[in-house]
Amino acid sequence: MIDGNVSLKRIVCRAVVVIAIASSAACRADNADASGGSHIKDAETTGGKSQAEVVTPGQPAPGAVAVSAANAGEPVAIKVYKDANCGCCKKWVEHLASNGFKVETMDMPDLSLLKQKHGVADELQSCHTALVDGYVVEGHVPAEVIRKMLKERPQIAGLAVPGMPMGSPGMEGPTKERYDVLTFDRAGRTTVYSQQ
């Protein structure tokens, strides 16, 4: 009988210790969340051993599928429609490639129907049009602004840099003008997304 009581006390003590450890881990996770640090995302028991995944905010959880390759810093596929004789289009393609995009180009003598199909109004047009992950990119939009859009996923048709401003990617030269990168939607509404 004494041995039974001792065994029961040991089981109860072990249960209390396990609960205390679990409570402590949960408390540390809550504190880490509040401070913006890393936190315990998930704990599982496998083969009798406790395992936990530590996730740093802003990073995908291990095994998670990224929403967009832009989030993971992986090459992003982009298709650029351009005129074969346009030098600044070629330089913009080089800008994209040097900034981690996987660029496919298609030369077309007339882009007007393509621009119309994708909702690029006349006042937004430039010399080339690109398609990336469900968005339209019109003109000399900087690569980092495209990545920002792909990360934020705004409810827009795309981005545009109307005309060909000096100093924009592909239009480098001795002078640099300030220009806006605009969002646009299918209804023709625009907003300033980035100032360069």
Tokens of 42: 């998930």
Locate tokens 């995944």: which residue?
Answer: 53
The pLDDT mean for the chain works out to 74
161, β-bridge pairs = 139
Rounded Cα distance, 172 and 127, in Å:
15
Instruction: Write down the pLDDT at residue 73.
Output: 59
Q: Quick one: CATH architecture of 69-195?
A: 3-Layer(aba) Sandwich (3.40)
**The predicted structure's pLDDT at residue 84:** 93
Q: Is the dihedral of CA 27, 32, 33, 39 positive or negative?
A: negative
Segments making up each domain of the chain, as ranges: 2-55, 69-195
What share of the chain in percent tops pLDDT 70?
63
- Determine the pLDDT at residue 113: 96
pLDDT tens-digit series, residues 16-45: 333 333 333 333 333 333 333 332 233 333
Nearest to 155 by CA among 102, 193, 117, 112: 193
Q: Which two tokens stand for residue 133?
A: 């992950």
Question: Taking a C-beta distance cutoff of 8 angstroms, is the pair 128, 81 a contact?
Answer: yes
Q: For 26, list phi and psi in degrees, rounded to 5.
A: -65, -40
Q: 196 and 180 in contact (C-beta within 8 Å)?
A: yes
pLDDT tens, residue by residue, 120-151: 999 999 999 999 999 999 999 999 999 999 99
Give pLDDT, residue 188: 85
What Å distances lie between residue 32 and 29, 37, 52, 56, 113, CA to CA? 5, 5, 15, 10, 53
Q: What is the pLDDT of residues 89-107, one digit of tens each?
A: 999 999 999 999 999 999 9
